[in-house]
Structure 1
Amino acid sequence: MIGLLEKLGRTILKWLENTGRIVLLFSEAMVHLKKANLRHTLQQMAHLGVDSLPIVLLTILFTGMVMTVQTAHEFIKYGAQSSVGGIVFIAMGRELAPVLTGVVTAGRVGAAITAEIGSMKVTEQIDALRVMATNPVAYLVVPRLLACVFMLPVLVIFANVIGTIGGYLVATFYAGIGSFTYLHSISVFAVINDVTGGLVKAAFFGAIIAVIGCYKGLNTSEGAEGVGKATTASVVSSIILIFISNYFLSLLLY
């Protein structure tokens, strides 16, 4: 029994230690925001944001289509077909688009950030940056943090549009709901906060992905095997934190 409690205590202390280090890394990145290299930041925005657009759009398109398939006939059965478009749009704007975009981006971008920085760590390139009087946080973390925070809401905007279009295609060509009925229900039920709230969530998710990815990369050890372990841990941790923070952000925003 005592051994179990000791193991639990060590796990909690290690978790608290890691949490503190992540907060310190984020705080240091905030201090160095003014030192961000514009060219490097734009490169990261293109790499982490633009290159993620196809997989995000593909995921959200079929999510919108599946959601409409599952709900349209049930709504029609109870004479509520005039609500389908609004329901799909609200679900996309508030939850599905930001959360799924965050999860997909965590899998692609979070892994890329950790692998890149982790490889630099195990090959002592980060130590070389310090020798050249270059702050690794300002040079590596800040551009990636800015890129994720700015580009994830942009991806969510595209996701909202493509998810709604996917629902529209299924509603009109599969469920037999008129185009005007679908589009009119969006204007009736949706409000601007349904979209802006999702964008705020996306910015938080972007910060989570960038900070966790950079933290795991900067603390990589054990060579190539350690890079693989850090990458896996980064993706898993980011996804878990996205779902946890989504609950609290939903309470605050809606």
Structure 2
Amino acid sequence: MPDTTSSASAFNFLEKIGAPFLHLIRSLGRVAFFLARALVKIFAKKQLQSIAQHVYYIGARSAPIVMLVGLFTGMVLGLQLFHTLVRFGSAGVLGSAVGLTLVRELGPVLTAIMITARAGSAMSTEIGIQRITEQIDALQTMGVDPLRYLVSPRIAAAVISFPILTALFDLIGFLGGFLTGVVLLGLDAGTYFYRLQSSILFEDINGGFVKSLVFAIIVTTVCCYNGFYTHLRKDSFGAKAVGLATTSAVVISCVLILISDYVVTSILL
């Protein structure tokens, strides 16, 4: 006779393994459908004013912190790379090292993480509060599409703001590398800027902008999705659910930024 006990144990083991995987697939499907619906509604009428307001909040209001982080990132890169390159007698290529590191990797990634911390968390919290206070239900009652009104303008604004802030981060980072390498450590200014200009190609700049666009979609989708469906969380409800949704949005966004950075880099190289 077949051993029913061992068969049941094997089935339970497979069920425990498969359940999280199936939950992940369902969640990815819901997020993809959420994003697709929001993208379609970007092109609805009377969206321009709302998009402009979110560009100001996501882009202009985030510029100071992005510039500050970009400046000190460039300064740290200049300091570390200078002392490393001196060991090999290659201090003259400091401009190339700083420029390529910022444009290819640190610029898009750190810009996206800073915007996530500042604007992404606010998106999730704001939409989450609107959900638990039934403002989203009121919009649906009045015949207003919540996705068109709350999510689509934020996605469009992020797509506009992320590349601009990434470029700003890179430029300020170049200045930070100049301050450390040239002003503090005595590297020739002409050598620094010549290496910076000659080593950065259009493909490098294009790759950085592609990453920033991917990060914009990821951050806004994850943050808006967590806020929009705060009421469906099983671990809490009310104000606590909003806090947990915001925390989840920021953590998931940062992890996905790093994962997608690797994926996009492997494709572009």
Pairwise TM-score range, normalised by the shorter structure? over 0.9
Counterpart contact for 1:73–1:175, Cα < 8 Å = no
Instruction: State the AA in 2 paired with 1:230.
Output: A
Aligned match of 2:161: 151
**Worse overlay, 10-19 or 228-237:** 10-19
2:230 alignment partner, SS class? coil
Q: CA deviation at 1:74?
A: 2.1
2:20 aligned with 1:11: yes
1:62 aligns with 2:72: yes
User: Which residue of 21, 29, 35 corresponds with 1:20?
Assistant: 29
Deviation at 1:173, TM superposition (A): 2.1
> Which aligned pairs between 1:78-93 and structure 2 lie closer than 5 A?
78-93=88-103
Shift of 1:11: 1.8
**Alignment equivalent of 1:194, drawn from 192, 204, 219:** 204
How many aligned positions are there? 254
- Alignment partners' CA distance in 1, 2:202 and 2:82: 24
CA displacement at 1:192 relative to structure 2: 1.6
The more displaced of 157-166 and 104-113 is 104-113
Instruction: Identify the residue that residue 122 of structure 2 maps to in structure 1.
Output: 112
**Most deviating of 33-42 and 63-72:** 33-42
The residue that corresponds to 1:31 in the other structure is: 40
Q: Deviations over 1:151-189 (max 9, x none)?
A: 010000100100010001100122211100100111222
Does 2:148 correspond to 1:138?
yes
Q: Which has the larger radius of gyration?
A: 2
Deviation >4 Å, runs of 4+? 1-5
Q: TM-score under structure 1 normalisation?
A: 0.96
- 1:237 pairs with 2:252: yes
- State the match for 1:163 in structure 2: 173
Partners of 1:143 and 1:166 in 2: CA distance: 34
Query: Which residues of structure 1 form unaligned runs of 5+?
Result: none
Q: Percent identity?
A: 37
Structure 2 distance, partners of 1:137, 1:162, is: 36
Q: Which moved more, 1:114-123 or 1:169-178?
A: 169-178
2:61 is paired with a residue of what secondary structure?
A: helix
Query: Per-residue deviation at 1:60?
Result: 1.6
Runs of at least 5 residues in structure 2 that lack an aligned partner in the other structure: 1-8, 232-236
Secondary structure in 2 aligned to 1:32?
helix
Q: Which amino acid aligns with 1:38?
A: L
TM-score by length of 2: 0.91
Contact 2:81 2:97 in 1 (8 A): no
Aligned equivalent of 2:110, options 94, 100, 103: 100
Partner of 2:58: 48
Aligned residue for 2:5? none
Deviation at 1:5, TM superposition (A): 4.7
Within 2, Cα distance between the matches of 1:141 and 1:196? 27
> Does structure 2 retain, via aligned residues, the 8 Å contact 1:102–1:205?
yes
Q: CA deviation at 1:68?
A: 1.2
Instruction: Please state whether the residue corresponding to 1:167 is helix, strand or coil.
Output: helix
Q: What amino acid sits opposite 2:251 in the alignment? A: V
Cα distance in 2 between the residues matched to 1:19 and 1:153: 26
Query: Is the Cα contact below 8 Å between 2:85 and 2:94 reproduced in 1?
Result: yes
Q: RMSD of the TM alignment (CA)?
A: 1.4
One of 103, 123, 137 as aligned partner of 1:127: 137
Alignment pair present for 1:178 and 2:188: yes
Q: How big is each residue's C-alpha offset from its partner over 1:230-254, in whole Å with a ceiling of 9 and x where there is no partner?
A: 0000001111111111011112223
On the 8 A contact 1:56/1:155 being kept in 2, the answer is: yes
Q: Is the 8 A contact 2:54 2:153 kept in 1?
A: yes
| Residue identity in the other structure for 2:167 | I
